[in-house]
Amino acid sequence: MPSAISLSSLIPAGLSVERFEVVDRVLFVTASARTPEAACPSCGRPSRRRHSRYVRKVSDLPSAGRSVRLLLITRRFRCDITSCRRKIFAERSGDEVVAQRARRTGRMECIVHHLGLALGGRPAACFAQRLMMPVSNDTLLRVVRRRARSPRETLNVVGIDDFAFRRNHRYGSIVCDLERRRIVKLLPDREIATVAGWLSDHPEITVVSRDRGGGYGEATARALPNAVQVADRWHLMENASAAFLDAVKKSMKSIRAAIGAAIVDPKLLTSAERLQYEGYLRREETNAIITGLAADGVPVKEIVRRTGRSRGLVRQIVRGERTDVFRSPARLARCVSALPRRAMGGRLPQRR
């Protein structure tokens, strides 16, 4: 025989249903606690003396394709213990039912937490809307942060770098546990005193990975003089890549001359490439003038005054960083492929 299912079995345990109604496909369920007494949160003594009551609006899991709003009648009690600092308190339902000051039941909070972990903010908010559990993306992220466990393991190897709260306006410092690959702390600024103060609270750290700047190095030396300081891999690769690209860019004309690709045939250029080539010829005239003045021993300031060019451009030409045929981007792959092979008399690679 199939057993009948009552509405009381569909709401969190420990509550009894008083009435319910459906308004605009939303099920409003009025419920209250079954126990006649409640324990004081300060002294723990139970009390039966009721003072008043109020209604809490709490969201619960959907039922039969309808969103559920739980109207929880919460009672206030008087504490009879004279030494207790609380005279009037509200009954607690428990975190598994409804946590204190919560707007969702405990079981719905668990579902929201798992949605935030699996999908993130905005995708999880859209999916929760389909599941009749409307929550915002900010709420999902707040639930994930609130329920995240704080790291309790000993920190041994950490990495420190700066990050932007708002680019070009406000920067902070981020501390990561490199052994477990997770963020440990977000510091509000990049000041040496702030970083040194946090490191002083963690004397168990033995290795600190940082950038090549002196700020974090000074903070580490001040707080952890026995810790080993190493340059992190990202900054090493970034600096090495920048130095290599700079060397290649300065020698690109010599490289093309060595491989026999220094002559550009304008007839084989497209319209866009022809515009770039004409710009290159104009740049070459400027480069020749500035290079000649620099060879005669004219100072950079005087060259700027005579030519009307910016000081940065003059220094760039004097250092030999503006001699390529086509303007090369920052990345090496794009830098090498910037000059079309068709203009050098070769064949273009076919696109697959």
**Of the candidates 334, 312, 333, 331, the residue with the CA atom closest to the CA atom of residue 321:** 312
Q: Is 344's pLDDT higher than 80?
A: no
Give the pLDDT band (50/70/90) at residue 336.
very low
Is residue 285 predicted with pLDDT exceeding 80?
Answer: yes
Arithmetic mean of pLDDT, 259-286: 77
**What are the tens digits of pLDDT across the range 86-108?**
889 999 888 888 888 888 888 89
Which is it for the CA torsion 200, 201, 202, 203, positive or negative? positive
**184-238 tens-digit pLDDT:** 888 999 899 999 999 999 999 999 998 877 889 999 999 999 999 998 888 888 8
Q: In this structure, is residue 31 part of a structural domain? A: yes
pLDDT computed for residue 2 by the predictor: 52
**pLDDT at residue 323, rounded to an integer:** 61
The verdict on 137 and 58 lying in the same domain is no
pLDDT at position 347: 36
Q: Does 1 reside within a domain? A: no
Between helix 192-200 and helix 214-223 the angle, nearest 10°, is 40
pLDDT surpasses 80 at 182 = yes
Q: Which residues touch 202 (CB under 8 Å, ≥6 apart)?
A: 155, 158
Q: Are residue 252 and residue 331 in the same domain, yes or no?
A: yes
259 and 181, same domain (yes or no): no
In-domain check, residue 238: no
Do 276 and 291 sit in the same domain of this protein? yes
3-state secondary structure of 60: strand
Q: What is the pLDDT of residue 352?
A: 37
Residues 284 and 338 in one domain: yes
**Do 216 and 257 belong to one domain?**
no
Work out the pLDDT band at 342, boundaries 50, 70, 90.
Answer: very low
Q: Which of 15-19, 69-73, 227-231 comes out lowest in average pLDDT?
A: 15-19
User: What is the side-by-side order of every strand in the sheet holding 207-210?
Assistant: 182-187, 170-177, 157-166, 207-210, 228-231
**Where is the domain boundary, 183, 202, 231?**
231
Residues 182 and 252 grouped into a single domain: no
Q: In what helix (H) or strand (E) does residue 93 lie, and over which residues does it extend?
A: none
Q: Are 44 and 3 in contact (CB under 8 A)?
A: no
Q: Is 152 domain-assigned?
A: no
Are 12 and 67 contained in the same domain?
yes
- Mean pLDDT, the chain, integer: 81
Whether residue 317 sits in one domain with residue 294: yes
Please indicate, yes or no, if residue 85 is contained in any of the structural domains: yes
The one-letter amino acid code at 264 reads V
Please determine, for residue 309, whether its predicted confidence score (pLDDT) is greater than 80: yes
Please state, in angstroms and rounded to a whole number, the distance separating the CA atoms of residues 193 and 343.
57
| The most confident of 14-23, 171-180, 251-260, 265-274, by mean pLDDT | 171-180
Place of tokens 């935030």: 116
CA atoms of 186 and 169, how far apart (whole Å) = 17
68 domain residue, yes or no: yes
Name which of 16-20, 125-129, 140-144, 275-279 the model is least confident about: 275-279
Rounded Cα distance between 165 and 137, Å, is 19
pLDDT of 33 over the 70 cut: yes
pLDDT value of residue 157? 92
In a domain, 331, yes or no: yes
- CATH number of the domain where residue 205 is located: 3.30.420.10
Whether residues 223 and 302 share a domain: the answer is no
Q: Name the more confident of 328 and 180.
A: 180
Q: Show the domain range for 210.
A: 157-231
Q: d(Cα 74, Cα 90) in Å, to the nearest integer? A: 7
The pLDDT assigned to 223 comes to 92
Q: Which of 80, 98, 116 is the last residue of a domain?
A: 98
Strands 26-33 and 66-78: parallel
Task: Please tell me the total count of domains within the chain.
Answer: 4
Domain boundary among 84, 114, 147: 147
Q: Are residues 87 and 23 in the same domain?
A: yes
Mean pLDDT value across residues 177-189: 88
pLDDT band for 23, please (50, 70, 90 cuts): confident
What's the pLDDT at 199? 92
- Secondary structure tally for the chain: helices H, strands E: 11, 12
Q: What is the pLDDT of residues 129-163, one digit of tens each?
A: 888 888 898 989 888 888 876 656 788 999 999 88
Is 190 part of a structural domain of the chain?
A: yes
Query: Does 111 lie in the same domain as 48?
Result: no
